[in-house]
Amino acid sequence: MTSTEIKISKNLENGIKFSCQMCGDCCRGFEAGEVYLYKDDILRLAKFLNITGMKGLRNFAKKYVKVINDSFFWKDPDAQRGKTYRFKTLGFRFTGEDEHCHFLKDNKCSVHEMRPFQCRSFPFWQMMVSNRNNFERYTKKCKGLQVLKGKYYSREEILNWAKDEYEIEKNYFLEMQKHNFDILKVYPFLPKEMLQKEA
């Protein structure tokens, strides 16, 4: 994430039609990249799965979550220049030979209503909305972006998704910064050994 000013690339200026074709390709495989998880995602999913308390969240983390690297460009109000901060965040741990999301069942998302923001906001992530090359790179992987059928998303709707994504990332960054980038302060249920494993 690099900027608070979210620009929309020319190919999206007039909006697009998009509907997921349920191929499941973005829910499996190393090529698909990481599925980032934020606190709201975890708590919503845990509630949906009837997981409660510190012990429940700890087991949830052990089974479904991994620690991954993240970065964020930020300029403190009193600083002359901004800089890119690097820190830890959480993402889904994939499973099986094809490295699929635990919640992908028969090629469908079994937690569709409660899926993380990153899954819900695709394909309107800031890095795709602002950069045509990124959008085209994902188009090669996503059948929904190849057929461009279904629900129409206006320029404003697309920008709103990208802005919401920026806000979620920014808020996580600010919380981490407040805690001196100690992820265990933000997620106290996280088993310490998960950090050592990923280090």
Binding residues for ligand SF4, per CB under 6 A? 20-27, 35, 101, 103-104, 109, 111, 115-116, 119, 122, 142-144
d(CA 95, CA 100): 5
Minimum separation from the CB atom of position 99 to ligand SF4 (A): 11
Minimum separation from the CB atom of position 72 to ligand SF4 (A): 22
**Whose Cβ is closer to ligand SF4: residue 104's or residue 176's?**
104
> DSSP H helical segments within the chain, as ranges?
39-48, 53-64, 117-121, 126-129, 132-141, 143-147, 155-178, 183-186, 192-198
**Whose Cβ is closer to ligand SF4: residue 32's or residue 183's?**
32
CA atoms within 13 A on the CB side of 104: 20
Minimum separation from the CB atom of position 75 to ligand SF4 (A): 32
CA atoms within 13 A on the CB side of 199: 7
**Whose Cβ is closer to ligand SF4: residue 3's or residue 110's?**
110
**Whose Cβ is closer to ligand SF4: residue 57's or residue 104's?**
104
Minimum separation from the CB atom of position 118 to ligand SF4 (A): 7
